[in-house]
Amino acid sequence: MSKLLRHFLNFRHCHRSFSQRKDDSFAQCPERVFSGIQPTGVPHLGNYVGAIRNWVRMQERYDSILLSIVDLHSITVQQNPAELRENIQVMAACLIACGINPDKTILFQQSSVKEHAELCWILGCLCSLPRLEHLPQWRDKSKKVSDPKVGLYTYPILQSADIMLYKSTVVPVGEDQLTHLELARDLARAFNRQYGTLFPACNSYIGDVPKIRSLKDPSSKMSKSDNNAASRIDLTDSSSTVRDKIAKAVTDAVSKDITFDPELRPGLSNLIDICSALTGKSSEDIVKLTQDKGMDKKTFKEFVTETVNESIQPISSEMQRILSDRGHLRSILKQGQERASVLAEETIKHVKTLVGLS
């Protein structure tokens, strides 16, 4: 049996369990993972260890995974059209280079599946203004722009639609996105109560790797939006660029010894966390290794550089290979769109029937 057919049969099994009964229950559906990433530049090391590598590993555990390049979310802030088109392809290439297998994971461009926007509108008719106003992301992001747009306010509803459209039951998220996942659960519950039990509960999946911090300001997480490129390690950085960035990373003058203390020594602890995340060793083991080898901060930074380059240089090389054949890359995204659309069209058909639109 083909994987596409198996996905479809699982989807139909989920639909058989929905009823017209108006209560607070969730539908019982097969396990399905959904996650998304914005095409707003090359992913950095924090994206890799905190999200992308988790998705790669989940391919071995789950039979049904969808990974969307969420371009509709990216236009909540102004984008250059040519750069956005390029970033979508670069993101797809990067995900594949990191280990996402398009045969196992449905990898697709969000805007190519129109049902995301359709379900977003229907869910928006179930969501109150106060519910969105209470989300911390709106309060934080709206302060950073002089004239915040409606899309920035309502994008959490689109996130909910992204998740619910595929009857997703597992959603890998960062801790800062848990409130948005709770909104998805609330909207699923509201729809089920008002129209009939159709959507399952979506549960969070949070990895256990440490959060990677800025190399220049370890009080903040590593971020693509930071104007200072030296604050992050991009997955396409050359080995010499990685060396320079780590050599100039903020540490401290507390002691010449290598110790792990996120409160008193956040910069040095961040470098230890990077080594820990990439090697699978605990922070204690990393510290012991530095002691056994008699490392000072300079030699430790050289060790961190070597560790990072061993991980990201093969990714960078594979990205360039994939990007050299744009036709094949577009065909991968087209195949992903077709596979995602089979599931999305089935959901929207039942949604419209229940709501009374068809």
Which residues are designated catalytic?
A: 141, 221, 224
Write the pLDDT tens digit of every residue in 98-129.
999 999 999 999 999 999 999 999 999 999 99
Rounded average pLDDT over 178-184: 92
Residue 234 has pLDDT above 60, yes or no: yes
pLDDT in tens, 190-200: 999 999 999 99
Q: At what angle do helices 297-323 and 266-279 cross, to 10 degrees?
A: 50
Q: Are 161 and 155 in contact (CB under 8 A)?
A: no
Q: Residue 231 in contact with residue 223, Cβ under 8 Å?
A: yes
Question: Hey, which residues does 105 pair with through a beta bridge?
Answer: 65
**Secondary structure string (H, E, C) spanning 108-134:** EEHHHCCHHHHHHHHHHCCCCHHHHHC
Per-residue pLDDT tens digits for 18-59: 334 444 589 999 999 999 999 998 999 999 999 999 999 999
CA distance 232 to 253: 22
